[in-house]
Amino acid sequence: MQLMAKSNVLLLGVGGLGIEIAKNVVLAGVKSLTVQDAKKTTIQDIGTQFFLTEDDASQSRNRAEASVPRLAELNPYVTVKASTETLTEDSQLDFLCDFQCVVVTEATIGLQLKINSFCRCQQPPIKFVSADVYGVFCWAFSDFGPTFEVVDSTGEEPKQCFVANITKANPGIVSTLENRMHHLESGDMVTFKEVKGMTSINGMTCRVEVLTPYTYTVCDTSGANFAPYQGGGIATQVKFSKTVKFKSLEDQLYCPTYMSPDLGKPDAPGSIHLGLCALHAFLKQHGRLPNVRCDTDAGTLVNIARRLNDTEMLNKVDEVDETLVRRLAYSCQGCLPPLCAVIGGIVAQEVLKALTGKFSPLKQWIHLDATEVMMGVDPPEREDFKPRGTRYDALRICIGEKLCQRLAGLRLFMIGCGAIGCEMLKNYALLGLASSEKGMISMTDHDLIEKSNLNRQFLFRPNHIRQPKSTTAAQSTQELNPEISVTKRLLCCLVCPDTESSMYTDAFYESQDVIVNALDNVEARRYVDSRCVTTQRPLLESGTMGAKGHVQVIVPHLTESYASQSDPPEEEVPYCTLKSFPSQIEHCIQWARDKFESSFSQKPSLHNKFWEINRSPEEVTQKLQQGVPLEGVVQVLKLDQSRPQCWGDCLVLARLKFEKYFNHKAASLLCAFPLDTKLKDGTPFWQSPKRPPVPIVFDKSNKLHTDFVVACARLYADINGITVKPQDLQLKDIAEMLAHIKTPEFRPSTKPIETDETVKNDQSNKPEETSYDCDEMMMVAERMTELSHTAPAVFQKMSPLSFEKDDDENGHIDFITAASNLRAAMYGVAEADRLRTKMIAGRIVPAIATTTATVSGLVTIELIKVVLKAPLEHYKNCFLNLAIPDMIFSEPGPAVKTTLSNGRTHTLWDHWRIQGRPDFTLKQFIDAVKEKYDMEPAMVVHGVKMVYVPIMPTHKKRLSQTMLKLLKPSPSKEYVDLVVSTDTENNEDKVMPLIRYFFKDR
């Protein structure tokens, strides 16, 4: 960030691609961005350049001058300037020395070569990036000088693993703890710490050679200076910078090195590059680009490409793809807007790499195409593609008027209006999506806009903070294109099972042409996927995590669904590790997050629920005296007895929590397991990854200690309705108050300490259920009566807190940061700063503007294919990592067919229907399936409920029971989906298509 904040960037050309690059660079936070463009705004520009308006076109405003005010709104810390000078191959270039990076778009190849040569000659070299979008093709080139230092090639967190053993050998072999993979690669460097016995390896940096996922070799450990390994140890990956060499544009133009991202078109980059070179040659020769859908010009371009391949290219292609070059000629006067988003995100990330040295640069070309969107119009109707003097001309040249009209009439439902959602809406505005009378964009997001959203969710501005994302995004989108229709319904309603029957019904889904996910969690994605399968709607799925992203196309009866594949489950941290034996800061943060939930959400909720059921202390006392058991009464009594009445009480309570969490807990563990404790096999109990805690003695002069007490006290004040005044937070006064608080003497806990890592804490979020005898209940009754007389206010309703990570004023993250770092200090674990704590505790998925722009562009291209009803081989799933950089396009997995014993085949998209009646029995249902589909059900399941399993002794009796009684649907439910299997000749169960059973005539 510091390097970017000192960097000045020049961007030549502010068309559709240029504005995408500019937007992403400004959001990233460079010192200044200068946009240079001598062109006047035309009506065609506003179809690709989202910061230009019809008024700019009618007034013929300069594109740079019109764009600068809107770019500047994105980030108040970035200086954005405009230059209207015309830059030609004869221009002086000394002014480029004011910039650390120059980005060139919409320039002749001669001007690009001159600028690149000038940039390479400077000391240090000025970083150079060029890129363009022509029709349905795009490309980018990077040159950061003869040599360039990359300080972090991947941006990944250094890998860390616990050591189980290190052999004395040449080379020494390191083993990791059981079932814990090291995730290292051969050539990685690691350093060791906390190794016992072989202490001389601590602090050493060793090169790794991987043997297995659990073992690897390091240096020679056979010497006398290496004592035998005794235990413990942590190996941490060490990252080193590397030097990357670049060739000039002149060298790379005819001997290119490039990526081949599309597994289905491995040879396409070579032909696209030839087309690029031929296009510049055609422009130089004719002073124009090939005419729209002109076969003569297309033939000329093909001939130029062949000549170049035969005479000038050093990296020749085996055969020029004539169809690909022709499509370049047909569409080059147009521009497919989502391609600008794709390559604009990639180029902006290259600019950030050039300025910071973080992540691996592009080496050195990338070529992409979206020719599949043209497939539905071959052979072309030329009139369909001619410009008509509207904002959609650039798009019309690429895909034709008929497809433009289909996009205008589309009904689309998007779930989520965050980072990806904002980028999607911008793309939809440029495409004119839902711009006709029957088209409509429906969307929903129940979140509010936070300040932290502004650096990647570009539809939002500072004045939008705390406003709903959905309504704000709808308004901002219509400002980009007033012609599109964004529904004012459904804007803030959560998509979930609770709204399935009232808001997002089957009829609603079925009224949509396509569903788009812009979500940030797997659970929500799976739910929307299931609704799309149920209602047979196409789904466009995508997501990002930092520089990584994915795109998945899901089309009914054609592809598999999102749920057809599953990610490996996340490694679950054992309960005993969180509770007593943390070894990483993540464990400490999760522990602090659990303490927040327990103390400030669950216990206040328990208090409120108890007093809603038991209306007064007198009623509680009466019930206890009558022997009536009351759930949670002891927990509520403890809570009310210690309930604070003023700010000073809150400080006392927080100070006692400090003693309990960070002193007495450690002391109890050491009493139960002294440092010399041995396991049954004679090995030490306290060995890696277990770390013995050290009790922390409270020190009022230690900022971390007082930070915890103050943060904890503030939360106690919040749940108890106690107002905290600014003067209450004076640290000097707080320290004085804390000095006089008496804490109880330590007494070893009698509670058993769990050490078995296989034991799960299923009861961790529930109040303790303890049996009490009659005398104890009477004692509780007496204390309750006494409390009602002495402090009746303690029975008043509390205000449970709901964890909110984005509000920096509520103190939630302050508490978790202080609590987790104190626990880390107690166990000798490295602490985490507030930002990292916030990301881990809030489960924040990192999002950056460059990746979201690229992913949204790729998704929008797939949307056009869905509207085209393209065949399976035309769709592209994508996995990308802009940090490496790497992109992989692949054909979506087809919908898997299942063959039943009667020869019928089905996929997950197929549904069978059985019409029932209120008195329909299970036997009648089975007979109906057999009669209608010639298959006899062997088992019937509804969700997780086994409705009918013949081998179960009692299930035969269910045959005479009604389906209503067995399934117990809600009154509003018209049908249920049942999983029904049948026996095959080999006595194997085969699942039939999903059977939708209707309870009554429709």
Catalytic residues, which ones?
576
Alpha-carbon distance of 535 to 310, in angstroms, equals 54
Q: For residue 601, what is the DSSP state?
A: I
Helices (H), 292-358: 295-311, 322-331, 337-356
> Helix, strand, coil: what percent of the chain each, to 5?
40, 20, 40
Count of CB atoms within 10 A of residue 351's CB? 27
Radius of gyration of the chain (CA): 33
Three-state secondary-structure class, residue 543:
strand
Three-state secondary-structure class, residue 856:
helix
Contact 145, 125 (CB under 8 A): yes
State the Cα angle at 368 between 20 and 874, rounded to 5°. Answer: 115
Altogether, the residues listed in the chain come to a count of 1002
Contact 491, 390 (CB under 8 A): no
Contact 130, 343 (CB under 8 A): no
Alpha-carbon distance of 128 to 248, in angstroms, equals 10
Alpha-carbon distance of 571 to 584, in angstroms, equals 14
Count of CB atoms within 10 A of residue 950's CB? 13
* Tokens of residue 465, six digits: 């903070």
Alpha-carbon distance of 396 to 406, in angstroms, equals 12
Instruction: Please list the residues that pair with 514 across neighbouring strands.
Output: 412
Q: Exposed (0-12), middle (13-18) or buried (19+): which is 352, by Cβ within 10 Å?
A: buried
Alpha-carbon distance of 900 to 20, in angstroms, equals 52
State the Cα angle at 940 between 934 and 943, rounded to 5°. Answer: 135
Three-state secondary-structure class, residue 350:
helix
Alpha-carbon distance of 188 to 120, in angstroms, equals 32
- Going by their DSSP bridges, the two strands 137-143 and 189-196 should be labelled as unpaired
Alpha-carbon distance of 521 to 526, in angstroms, equals 9
Alpha-carbon distance of 991 to 905, in angstroms, equals 11
Alpha-carbon distance of 30 to 883, in angstroms, equals 18
Left (φ > 0), alpha (ψ -120 to 50) or beta: where does 642 sit?
alpha
Contact 719, 800 (CB under 8 A): yes
Q: What is the 3-state secondary structure (H, E, C) of 43-69?
A: CCHHHCCCCCCHHHHHCCCEHHHHHHH
Contact 711, 815 (CB under 8 A): yes
Residue among 917, 684, 703, 719 at smallest CA distance from 802: 719
Instruction: Please list the residues that pair with 914 across neighbouring strands.
Output: 997
Three-state secondary-structure class, residue 244:
strand
Residue among 933, 952, 951 at smallest CA distance from 994: 933
Alpha-carbon distance of 206 to 438, in angstroms, equals 66
Q: Which residues contact 15 (CB under 8 A, 6 or more apart)?
A: 37, 39, 45, 48, 49, 63, 105, 106, 335
